[in-house]
Amino acid sequence: MTNSAVENRAAGSRQAVVQRYVDILTDAGLKAVFGDQRNKDVLIDILNVILPPHRKVKDITYETTEIPGFTLFNKSVRFDLRCRGEDGRQFIVELQCYHQANFFRRCVLYASKAYDMGSQRGDGQVYDIPPVYFIGLLDKDLQDMQRYSPEDGIISEYTFREKSTMKVPDETIFTIFVELNRFTKTKEECATMLDKWCFALTHIGTLDRLPDELRTEAFERLFQACEIARFEPEVKLKYEKEMITERDYYNMLNTAKADGMAAGLAEGEAKGLAEGEAKGREEGLAMAAKEMKKLGLPTDIIIKSTGLSEAQIAEL
């Protein structure tokens, strides 16, 4: 979950409106909806739009749901799903929605761990290992990787390929990113199922009803699963608490950054020189980083927010 998404959902203009559906792209929303195995049919619907055609999911079994140290608050809402395809074959899907520094490397790391777990089942030298598909739902561009994606592409896929022929020798590890910030169509312009799912995932937290353009059984299931009033009391309470924590986290981060930037820029602007302004900006970033360190924010979050290196932050 990116800080821009939380900021937008927490904007003052929306606070006067009672939110009917969860924001599925928040950690709290993803956990509340897809952490409930009664909603696995909805999850299957989404996966079957994102995964390649030969990997259609018929049923899923949940495994672990959290890995320490992967995202916010030293934990990650990450769904480890054992899938059975329509052809009866088994494969693994890892689903995650948060974006942070070094996200691509982290996705490859955890997909590799899941693949390695599949090799530890005592099959000798047969290597009958189920393939792994790591799916990241993002509401911003994948850092440093956007130049490899089509300009209008929503889904990008990375795997082992032969460089000149682009052939895939075998199904092993795949990382798939759904970059929802690239999606700009209105509901009236949605022509394909992928369009409709991208619209629903992007906007459901701000809607007050299921749009007529999406009125099918699959989306009726999604909107019912995301309706806050339908949650069990303990699920609703947990969701609301986690959303407050998530909003407070980003408000705290942005306040620290803004205060530090303002203080540093004031000195630079007072000099009235470009070099003074540059120095002020640098000092502002340093001050912001100091405040973030005082608040106990993770180093990778500070790096992402200020652009400072790990070594610079360590010296503060």
What is the token pair recorded at 302?
A: 């500070």
Q: Using pLDDT thresholds of 50, 70 and 90, give the confidence band for residue 207.
A: very high
Give the whole-number percent of the chain exceeding pLDDT 90.
30
CA triplet 310, 315, 316: central angle to 5 degrees? 100
User: Given this model, what pLDDT does residue 226 score?
Assistant: 95
Asked if 134 and 94 count as a contact pair (C-beta separation under 8 A), the reply is yes
Query: Comparing 58 with 87, which gets the higher pLDDT?
Result: 58
Contact partners, residue 160, CB within 8 Å, separation at least 6: 168, 169, 170, 172, 173
User: Given this model, what pLDDT does residue 230 score?
Assistant: 92
Longest Cα separation, the chain: 71
Q: Per-residue pLDDT for 2 more than 70?
A: no
pLDDT tens by residue, 246-278: 666 666 556 665 666 555 555 555 555 445 555
For the segment 80-100, the average pLDDT, to the nearest whole number, is 82
pLDDT tens by residue, 93-134: 888 776 566 778 878 887 888 888 776 655 555 677 889 998
Query: Comparing 261 with 184, which gets the higher pLDDT?
Result: 184
Residue 23 and residue 268: Cα distance in Å, rounded?
Answer: 40
Residue 220 and residue 155: Cα distance in Å, rounded?
Answer: 24
* DSSP codes, 8-44: HHT-HHHHTSPP-B--TTSHHHHHHHHTSGGGHHHHH
Mean pLDDT of the chain: 77
CA dihedral 178, 184, 185, 190 (to 10 degrees): 0
Residue 48 and residue 259: Cα distance in Å, rounded?
Answer: 45
Asked if 32 and 235 count as a contact pair (C-beta separation under 8 A), the reply is yes
Compute the radius of gyration of the chain from its Cα atoms: 22
Domain ranges of the chain: 3-231, 239-315
